[in-house]
Structure 1
Amino acid sequence: MEINMFFLVLLILIPTFVLIIQNKRPKSNLPPTPPSLPIIGHLHLLKEPLHKTLHNMSHNFGPVMLLRFGVRKVVVLTSPSAVEECFTKTNDVVVANRPQLMQAKHLNYNYTTMGAAPYGTLWHALRRVAATELLSATRLDTTTNLREHEVKLMCRQIYNDSSHKVNFKSWFRDLTNNITTMAIIGKRYYGDEINMGDLKEAVEFREMMEEFFIVMHTETLGDFIPVIRWIGFDGVEKKMIDLI
């Protein structure tokens, strides 16, 4: 009973506190924004399909508008000229950083991979290593035979299965994944031609990677409303921690 009363008091006090803080903040030169609700901001306005919803909102608030997803402010651009201006030499660095979301923290080693690191010294170092050690012409030449072999295997399997409908999306996905795993650990984990000794390991690897990408692309309310994350309401963070 005491716990329920505690959360009830929080639900009453937090919106009041947020409104007081917002009223005391000095007015800044921000883009137009629709009316928002306490705590959730404009989350209640988002509907599928999202791109059409944002497009319709731009008719009322212009090609550059400000939305608030919980505690996060989001600038929405629907004008090609405005998007182009963001990626000029003057403004490119301003929008170079990525938001620090829960997925990036737990699944990208606390924001230390090239895809999640903030713009700065670490990101430049990672990009330099990737350009010289992973994507250079010399490195790509070392995997030429491997890639040719995987492409031949795929073509042969497609030919054998050509008597019925072929799902090219899954074939090319398996090709990319096998090239990656062969280059890193020397094993194939996708498709039919897997060594029997690696079959169990391949199944576990595929299940783990499938769960990884599902969790990686799952938007969590805890990223926008921290109180949900603090009480572990959606359980997504626990799944991320268990996965690693």
Structure 2
Amino acid sequence: SLMLGANDTTVVTLTWAISLLLNNREALKKVQDELELHVGRNRQVDESDIPNLVYLNAVVKETLRLYPAVPLSVPREAMEDCTIGGFHVPAGTCLLVNMWKMHRDPRIWFMTTHESLDVKGRDFEYIPFGSGRRMCPGVSFAMQVLHLALARLLHGFELGTLLDLKVDMT
């Protein structure tokens, strides 16, 4: 069940990344140009290439920000009475973090660059895999697969849509 969950959420995120790139041809071209520069055409993308693919990394991070595979966190329980955002929360209350909403907060996003943010849950404005002791155990697996699969797909194929129409993911 752990591997199935990791596989499913990774495939969903990859689907979102491809749809976002197909709807933003300029970003798609930038990733392909970066792959051409760092990998060339004579070989396949290797895991050792990934650290050099800065724009690809940004695409993966932005995809995870806009479309976290699990938009609501795993339920937590308040251990004691507390106040969150001005609201009294009694002990025993079930709490969920709406990561989808948090990742779209205009007070945090769209103002500055966030290139230094990682997905390990240290920056609480960006937690696509959760944070703390109970964060997703598959974070390393997911990031490895997302980067390599997306890089190889974009390096090996010319992607497009019929009649250059936008991808509708609704």
Length-normalised TM-score, structure 2? 0.28
Structure with greater helix share of residues:
1
Query: Whose relative contact order is higher, 1 or 2, with alpha carbons under 8 Å and at least 6 apart?
Result: 2
Length-normalised TM-score, structure 1? 0.22
